[in-house]
Amino acid sequence: MFTVTLNAVITGLIYGSIWGIIALGFTLVFGVMNFVNFAHGSFVLLPSYLSFILFVSWGIDPYISLILIIPLSFILGLFVYKYLGDRIIDEPHSVHIIVTLGLCFFIENAILLLAGGDIRSAVTSYTSSTFKIESIIISYSRFWASLVSWLCVVLLFIFLKYTDFGVMIRAAADNKEGAKIVGIFVDRVYLIAFGLSTLIAGIAGAIIIPFYLISPFSGMDLLTKAFCAVVIGGLGSIPGAIIGGLIIGVVECVAGVFFKASLGNALTFFIMILVLIFKPNGLFGE
């Protein structure tokens, strides 16, 4: 039983890092812009479908497709913010939620119309491959997805901490009016931050397609994972998003060992409720 539990924990940490990177894009927009984007799951789903089409039609590996998906996801974010987000950025959160949910439903139904309602996944040569470390069995596809996720976290940290534009983003997040006074173009910062959010979502969408089943309505499931992670970790906290994702991954996988796999979602929501009751700002929220 110890070996089985250890395998579940390791698998949960791998899955959790993937949920964490999805949550990372969501919390980045909230932390910088105080903007609630409920279309974030759809921004993960669109690149998943694009990666699937590239794989099925031309045999392009999902990781190779990142060369195309990364710039397209960034451009999508710039477009959405310029023509939608910028118009409602100063409105209450309730407006953000209603408008972005409407965008989410539009994307879902557009995918349903164009691609049909079938469940899809890119079955690559490494989808079912595994390797062993002692008694621990690890899936290649999930392992590489986890590595890419951690690489994104490190690169984002370096960008925000050690680049001039990263300093501008942190300044705008800390004090919008103060940033304007010292000459920072906050609107441009918000535009790039939103683009970074969808870029991260695009990476997540491409790396999950070899092992994750998608349908036109998977965006809401992905959003739920991200939302739970950021609530547990703390809205606006980048470390909190990662830790929240890891917690969700471990809880779901361990629940699948000792209980029914379907209980994992229930336990995730139960933990989120406990956090909201006893630490409303989340584990790392301020």
CATH number at residue 43: 1.10.3470
The residue whose two tokens read 């497709």 is: 65
Residue 1 confidence (pLDDT): 63
First to last CA, the chain: 39
Residue 29 confidence (pLDDT): 93
Q: Is residue 73 part of a domain?
A: yes
Q: How far apart are CA 199 and CA 65, in angstroms?
A: 13
Q: Residue 260 region, left (φ>0) first, then alpha (ψ -120 to 50), else beta?
A: beta
Q: How far apart are CA 121 and CA 127, in angstroms?
A: 10
Q: Is residue 284 part of a domain?
A: no
Name the domain count of the chain.
Answer: 1
Residue 2 confidence (pLDDT): 66
Q: Is residue 286 part of a domain?
A: no
The helix/strand/coil state of 133 is strand
Q: How far apart are CA 31 and CA 225, in angstroms?
A: 18
Q: Is residue 25 part of a domain?
A: yes
Domain that holds residue 129: 2-278
CB 256 within 8 A of CB 264: yes
What are φ and ψ of residue 9, in 5° steps? -65, -45
CA distances from residue 21 to 93, 102, 172, 180 in whole angstroms, order as listed? 23, 24, 22, 30
Q: Is residue 142 part of a domain?
A: yes
Q: Is residue 32 part of a domain?
A: yes
Q: How far apart are CA 125 and CA 142, in angstroms?
A: 13
Q: Is residue 285 part of a domain?
A: no
Mean pLDDT by 10 residues, the chain (286 residues): 78 91 93 92 95 93 95 96 92 93 94 90 86 82 93 93 90 86 89 95 94 92 91 88 92 78 79 90 79
Instruction: Give residues with Cβ within 8 angstroms of 114, minimum separation 6.
Output: none
Closest CA to 225 of 54, 53, 58, 24: 24
pTM as predicted: 0.93
Q: How far apart are CA 277 and CA 18, in angstroms?
A: 26
Residue 178 confidence (pLDDT): 87
Residue 281 confidence (pLDDT): 87
Q: Is residue 144 part of a domain?
A: yes
